[in-house]
Copies of this chain bind each other. A is one copy, B any other.
Amino acid sequence: MVKMNKTGEEILAVKILPEESVIRVESGTNLLEALVSAGIRINARCGGAGACGKCKVVIKDGTVEELSDEKSRLTAEDKEKGIRLACRSIVREDIIVEVPFESRVRKLAMGEKDTVEGRKRIPPCEKVDYFSHGTHDAPVRKFYIELAEPSLQDNSGDLTRLFGALHREHGIDVREIDLPVLRILPGILREAEWKVTASILCEGTNCEKGAENCSIKNCSNLSIVRVEPGDTTASQFALAVDVGTTSIHVQIVDVVNRKPVCKSAEYNGQTAFGEDVISRIVYSLKDGHLEQLQRAAARTINELLKELLGEAGLTASDISFITAAGNTTMTQLLAGINSKHLREAPYVPTVNALPWLKAEDIGIDVEPNTPVYLFPGVASYVGGDIVSGIMGFGLARMDELTLYLDLGTNGEVVVGNKEWMMTASCSAGPAFEGGGLTCGMRATLGAVQDFFMDPDTKEPVVITIGNKKPIGVCGSGVITILAELLRFGILQQNGKLNPDTGSDRVREGESGLEYVLVWKEKSGSGEDIIITEADLDNILRAKGAVYAGCASLIKQVGLTFDMLQKVVLTGSFGNYVDIRSAITIGLLPDLPLDVYCFIPNGSLLGARLAAFSCALTGEAEQIAKSMTNIELSEDSTFMDGYMAAMFLPHTDTSLFPTVSAELEKLKEGYKS
């Protein structure tokens, strides 16, 4: 029997294996989109363009219409087996499709990484005391009030009565109320016998006029967002979110006691449509795709939220408000905003500071009118995640000249102190996230995340996440691999492998020399795990861009690296990197190790702090406004610096005195 939807299109059944779940789609639906909509976390790094070949599925029954694909990654043998790329397949009849393990995005590994002894991890940065002085009302504050019962002598409206009581008992002048609250207000007031708790959102902080003005009582734009029976002021929870391009981190916080409750993280559901912000933006340009990306990110947040609510023993209605930080693209996509122009010169964001939104605007599964704060950004490539991190780290309160570096696919750098701040961004590419490498992978189970040479055997030792058999290399592994190969003379300072080491691990590959990290007999994939000269080139570009970006910014403000009193690393990459190796390859400046510290997730830290205090959302807004963004593409010295930084560690060895000394010493060691 042929089923039709309302507008007469045919409805088909897609059975997904091994889940055995069945979804219904209209004829003509793209199979990748159908699978993602069904919550299957499928890998499609290239954004469904057919380029990456990661979204392989097996058609077990029925056939799909295949889009023409000149550069097909599928062999004749693959096709024989029924293997197709989901992104190039159109559903035209009922089918059964298997999504193999390899094509799925795996659960994000949190804190599962092991460390190698002797590695110099970066110490966590010292905490700032935010609450020692000034007023620190939460951005949504609860007020308990007892209203006078109406009578024929005093029968003013319920809302007038509520506003009046807030003024009389708490000295605050509220003028607005959310319509959904107003609709049910009469019932709540009477059910509660006129004793209620009102949650008041402050949108117009006057924080720019000084911290002492930065309280709900001085707020210029207050609205009632919830009214509950009785006195519920003893309990209030918020949701803090870091919307990363690769992963989304979510944390429930106890607003009253100013402490975290529980947290979790997961790959951003948008990764199915592209690895980095550029491919997401490109994907978003087609009809309906922007909404699809919006929903994908919201779905990830909702899944994490559900998990955390269960863990904390809370319900969705316990979430009083949400604070979220992300880069400009993530922020705009989460808000459903056209982001086409972020990727085109002159790189104009639609909006730097969004107004408070409602949960229903972005499809988060809490009370529909729950307020959502999205951190303001500075520019297209310096977003709310950086502002949140700078606020969370406390840079805007510090005397010390500080460099703040958020290292991921995009590298954002801020330099300054409480007096001034400058920022810039550089495109590192996906190498530090394991992308763009022959055997690159994300930081999940089986990823090589540390690496060293046995000084005796000159044979490599790999450390993997979860101590599984190695199947690929993730970002933090890349740094130590390069550093170790350089130290042992296998990699030359120009970034080329040394053909004359005598090791059979250096061999001629399909496109130049390559180095075998793990022989296939020992790998989890059954293939040699290698790093090629093309891979090395990608890594050098990445580290060159980051170093040159920092150097250009420092130079623009008339400083030199050695004047920095602190260097702060953040981003998941910063968590696990061996700092000495990062300096050895010239990714980070050659400074005394004790100037470095790290924040596991600056973006989430700021989001959490903002949930405790509207003074801190106010501080974030001031930071966003006061930070000056430098477009490196406009800086004529950047390209020279970038070329120089493509060397290991740098063409100007005087910039890396300890590395030069180390390499010299090691060379002598080999000779002896």
A155 at the interface (CB under 8 A from B): yes
Binding stretch for chain B, among A58-66, A177-185, A298-306: A177-185
Contact of A351 among B151, B152, B155, B157 (CB under 8 A): B157
Q: Do B158 and A350 touch (CB < 8 A)?
A: yes
State A338–B352 Cα separation when bound (angstroms): 39
Within 8 A of B (CB), among A331-355: 335-341, 345-352, 354-355
State A184–B161 Cα separation when bound (angstroms): 40
CB neighbours of A337 from chain B (8 A):
182-183, 185-186
In this complex, what residue of B is CB-closest to A352?
Answer: B157
Q: Do A185 and B338 touch (CB < 8 A)?
A: yes
| Cβ distance A371 to chain B, nearest Cβ, rounded Å | 13
A653 at the interface (CB under 8 A from B): no
Q: Do A380 and B155 touch (CB < 8 A)?
A: yes
Contact of A151 among B151, B190, B346, B361 (CB under 8 A): B346
A637 at the interface (CB under 8 A from B): no
Q: Do B341 and A183 touch (CB < 8 A)?
A: no
Question: Given contacts A335-B179, A355-B176, is CB(A157)–CB(B631) below 8 Å?
Answer: no
| Cβ distance A311 to chain B, nearest Cβ, rounded Å | 30
Q: Do A341 and B152 touch (CB < 8 A)?
A: no
A634 at the interface (CB under 8 A from B): yes
State A42–B153 Cα separation when bound (angstroms): 40
Number of copies: 2
Contact of A157 among B182, B221, B348 (CB under 8 A): B348
State A183–B334 Cα separation when bound (angstroms): 11
| Cβ distance A579 to chain B, nearest Cβ, rounded Å | 34
CB neighbours of A153 from chain B (8 A):
634
A315 at the interface (CB under 8 A from B): no
Contact of A183 among B158, B159, B336, B349 (CB under 8 A): B336
State A182–B633 Cα separation when bound (angstroms): 28
Q: Do B184 and A351 touch (CB < 8 A)?
A: no
Instruction: Write the A630-661 contact mask toward B (1 if CB under 8 angstroms, else 0).
Output: 01011000000000000000000000000000
Instruction: Write the A167-183 contact mask toward B (1 if CB under 8 angstroms, else 0).
Output: 00000000011010011
State A361–B369 Cα separation when bound (angstroms): 13
Question: Given contacts A186-B341, A338-B183, is CB(A350)–CB(B155) below 8 Å?
Answer: no
Size class of the contact patch on chain A? 35 or more
Q: Do B177 and A341 touch (CB < 8 A)?
A: no
Question: Given contacts A338-B185, A338-B186, is CB(A157)–CB(B350) below 8 Å?
Answer: yes
Q: Do A187 and B152 touch (CB < 8 A)?
A: no
A560 at the interface (CB under 8 A from B): no
Q: Do A152 and B338 touch (CB < 8 A)?
A: no
Within 8 A of B (CB), among A218-262: 221
CB neighbours of A352 from chain B (8 A):
156-157, 159-160
Q: Do A185 and B348 touch (CB < 8 A)?
A: no
Q: Do B152 and A633 touch (CB < 8 A)?
A: yes
Q: Do B155 and A347 touch (CB < 8 A)?
A: yes
State A187–B634 Cα separation when bound (angstroms): 25
Q: Do B185 and A357 touch (CB < 8 A)?
A: no
Most chain B CB inside 10 Å of its own CB: which residue of A341, A354, A631? A341
CB neighbours of A347 from chain B (8 A):
152, 155
Contact of A184 among B150, B155, B338 (CB under 8 A): B338
Contact of A155 among B150, B160, B357, B379 (CB under 8 A): B379
State A176–B633 Cα separation when bound (angstroms): 32
State A338–B191 Cα separation when bound (angstroms): 13
State A339–B183 Cα separation when bound (angstroms): 9
| Cβ distance A155 to chain B, nearest Cβ, rounded Å | 4
State A381–B345 Cα separation when bound (angstroms): 60
**Could you list 26 examples of A-B contacts with CB < 8 Å?**
A152-B345, A152-B346, A152-B631, A152-B633, A157-B348, A157-B351, A158-B350, A158-B351, A159-B351, A159-B352, A160-B351, A179-B335, A179-B336, A179-B357, A182-B351, A182-B354, A183-B337, A183-B338, A185-B337, A185-B338, A185-B350, A186-B338, A186-B341, A186-B350, A190-B341, A221-B221
**Contact residues of A with B, CB < 8 Å?**
150-161, 176-177, 179, 182-187, 190, 221, 335-341, 345-352, 354-355, 357, 361, 379-380, 631, 633-634
Q: A158-B350, A179-B361 are in contact. List 5 more A-B contacts (CB 8 A).
A: A150-B348, A156-B352, A159-B352, A182-B351, A185-B338
| Top-7 shortest CB links A-B | A155-B346, A159-B351, A157-B349, A152-B346, A157-B352, A186-B338, A150-B348
